[in-house]
Chains A and B, each alone.
Chain A
Amino acid sequence: MRSVGSTVLALVLFATYLGIGALAHDSHFSLGWALTSTLLVWAGPAQIILISTLGSGATVAQAAIAVTVSAIRLFPMVVSVLPTVRAPGTKRRQLILVAHFVAVTLWVECVRLLPQVPRGRRIVFTHGLGAGLLAVCLVATTLGYVLAARLPELFAAAILLLTPLAFLLSTARNCRQLADVLALVLGLALFPLAARLHTGADILISGVSAGTIAYGVHWWRARE
């Protein structure tokens, strides 16, 4: 069952990066640019936000703000993974690559697998796991990009649909509190309204307002 669990996660990750490759192609980025973004950014949500904001004409500053807000969630993940990876005497610089590899899939797999790995070998293990997942995603990015360019329209559309489907469902799966569920639903609902303002910062406006309303409801209910 454990290996099945990791296969399903890897398949969803593969599908996600097929979608990112296809999205990069249809938003007129080069393949090398798409691969460099997978290598350097290594976070699915940040990559689709980057590609779709830049692709729809947002400025560098607007894209950077949207990306950085989406990336704040990496902070608690890194904070929670590192104590399980490090051994007594581990230097901080030995953990830089581990920190770079932290993203939702690696985080889930670390929580699941690291307890079975002897403490002295955990950095090496995490490097191997991260490099393996990254290699899978680079292949998927390339495949998605090439397929979007070559396939008949129907199948290219199917690959592009992977991105909203995979992100909607994996985000829904990660919802832990009422605030998360409300943020997802309101975020979907408010975007079309914010888009009518034609400010260029639609995603930031709908995201910050939907997220803050969701948090407000959470705070108000906690006070009851």
Chain B
Amino acid sequence: MNFVGDWHALLVLVLAGFLPNEVWRMLGLWLGGGVDEGSELLVWVRAVATAILAGVIAQILVDPPGALASVPDWLRYAAVAAGFAVFAMTRRSTLFGVIGGELVMLAGKWWLG
């Protein structure tokens, strides 16, 4: 396989990734103004977008790719719960939460041997 992969992989990237994502930026550029950020439609859209992202997060945790599958289920969930606890205790610091969750996962793996 060469650097980018084959043309098919690149075409899939453009069709499934670039175009469906970029269309909203360009619509914002062409239609901008006239949209109220607090409108009810946008509240629903944001809720669905948030839930889709939450689903992807759950998918990575429940059915992990590659090396993450070597971490036992309970330890993955415990690490994320610990990260969330640190985040909540540090006035919503994403950075400290991420560090806390990573440390719990590394400590757990080290302890398991």
Contact = CB atoms under 8 A, between A and B. Distances in A.
A53 B65 CA distance: 12
Interface in B41-81: 42-68, 70-71, 76, 79-80
Given A37-B13, A169-B98, A183-B47, A78 B32 contact: yes
Contacts of A191: 54-55, 58-59, 62
Nearest to B31: A79
Contact of A67 (B20, B67, B93): B20
Q: Which of A22, A49, A61, A163 is the most central at the interface, judged by chain B CB atoms within 10 Å of its CB?
A: A49
Interface residues of A, number: 109
A207 B44 CA distance: 11
Interface string A52-72: 111110001101111111111
Q: Which of A29, A33, A54 is the most central at the interface, judged by chain B CB atoms within 10 Å of its CB?
A: A33
A102 B110 CA distance: 40
Contact of A73 (B5, B33, B49, B84): B49
B interface, size bucket: 35 or more
Chain B interface mostly helix, strand, loop or mixed? helix
B62 to A, nearest CB: 6
A137 interface: no
A68 B23 contact: yes
Q: Which of A55, A171, A187 is the most central at the interface, judged by chain B CB atoms within 10 Å of its CB?
A: A187
A125 interface: no
B101 to A, nearest CB: 5
Interface of B: 1-5, 9-10, 12-33, 35, 37, 40, 42-68, 70-71, 76, 79-80, 83-84, 87, 92-95, 97-98, 101-102, 105-106, 109-110
